[in-house]
Amino acid sequence: MAAASPILAGAILLSSSQIGRLRSAWPWLGLKIDQTEKLWPAVDMVHVALFGGLGVLLILAFPTVRLRALFLVLAVLAVLTEFVQIWIPGRTASIDEVLLDLAAGLAGMGVAWALVVVVGWRRSAL
């Protein structure tokens, strides 16, 4: 969870020009972002990857916390990430992206649930 926090913060707080410079400085990063975006061009797949991964990590990292509370944390993060972008140059806030973040996070939580319940992973053992 600690390793995912800087990635999420960077994806949220960097301006468009800063992200462009990172993609140029680290071609592998630009390639991975391009590949992710091309998975489903009609949807912002970077949001799906970030919040889907966050949903998985929340479930696995906090085994004793109720699922509703974890989803509430995810919802607050989705709203805050878009709200903060109002003040970041080249970025825009969007209700559609909040909904996408929530759907992706919920899907990630579902994947983690499947690992825990169906496959038999114990959340407390992780």
Span 29-49, pLDDT tens digits: 677 767 777 776 766 777 888
Instruction: Report pLDDT digits (tens) over 83-119.
Output: 988 888 887 888 999 999 999 999 999 999 888 777 7
Residue 10: name the closest of 27, 38, 29, 31 by CA. Answer: 29
What is the spatial distance between Cα 111 and Cα 91, in angstroms, rounded to a whole number?
30
**Length of the chain as a residue count:** 126
Number of helices (H), then strands (E), in the chain: 6, 0
What is the spatial distance between Cα 70 and Cα 109, in angstroms, rounded to a whole number?
9
- The per-residue b/e assignment along 57-87, b for 16 or more CB within 10 angstroms, e otherwise, is bbbbbeeeeeeeebbeebeebbeebbeebee
Per-residue pLDDT band at 126 (split at 50, 70, 90): very low
Q: Which residues lie closer than 8 Å to 1 by C-beta, 6 or more apart?
A: 57, 58, 61
Residue 108: name the closest of 37, 45, 39, 48 by CA. Answer: 48
Task: Round the average pLDDT of the chain to a whole number and report it.
Answer: 80
Residue 71 contacts residue 108 (beta carbons within 8 Å)? no
What is the spatial distance between Cα 22 and Cα 26, in angstroms, rounded to a whole number?
6
Per-residue pLDDT band at 79 (split at 50, 70, 90): very high
